[in-house]
Every structure is written in structure tokens, then in C-alpha cells.
Amino acid sequence: MKEGDMEAFRHLYTRYKGPIFNFTLKYVRSVPLAEDITQDIFVKLWDNRTKLDTVRTLKSY
């Protein structure tokens, strides 16, 4: 994903969007807000993909 591989990003998105959404929903208690935050997380992940050398798991990131 670091080199701009959209397929790798899609894989991460597909795998983690549900867990991230559910985690966020527990805190904000609003589906629309949890959806927005989840989207923001993935946008930031994509924007910062070149800085991900030390990230081993998305959960820890």
C-alpha cells in the first residue's frame, strides 16, 4: 500500500471497516458520526501511507 497499491488498500478497508466502525460507534453512539469517523480514518491512512514503515498491524496503528 505504501507505493500506492489501491488493491492493498481495498483489502485493508474491506477487512477493517466493520471492526473500526463498531469500535467507533460504541463511543459516539451515532451511526452517521461513526460512519464519518471511519471514513476519516481510512482517508488519513491513505494520506499517510508513505509513513507506515513501522506499522505492523492496523489495529495498533
Give Rg (Cα) of the chain.
12
Domain ranges of the chain: 6-51
pTM, two decimals, is 0.80
Per-residue pLDDT of the chain (61 residues; tens, 9 = 90+): 767 778 988 998 999 999 999 999 999 999 999 999 999 999 998 998 888 766 566 666 6
pLDDT recorded at residue 28: 98
Is residue 21 within 8 Å of 35, Cβ to Cβ?
yes
Q: Which residues in 11-34 are b (16+ Cβ under 10 Å) and which e?
A: eebeebeeebbeebbeeeeeeeeb
pLDDT recorded at residue 39: 97
Distance, CA of 10 to CA of 27 (rounded, Å):
25
pLDDT recorded at residue 52: 73
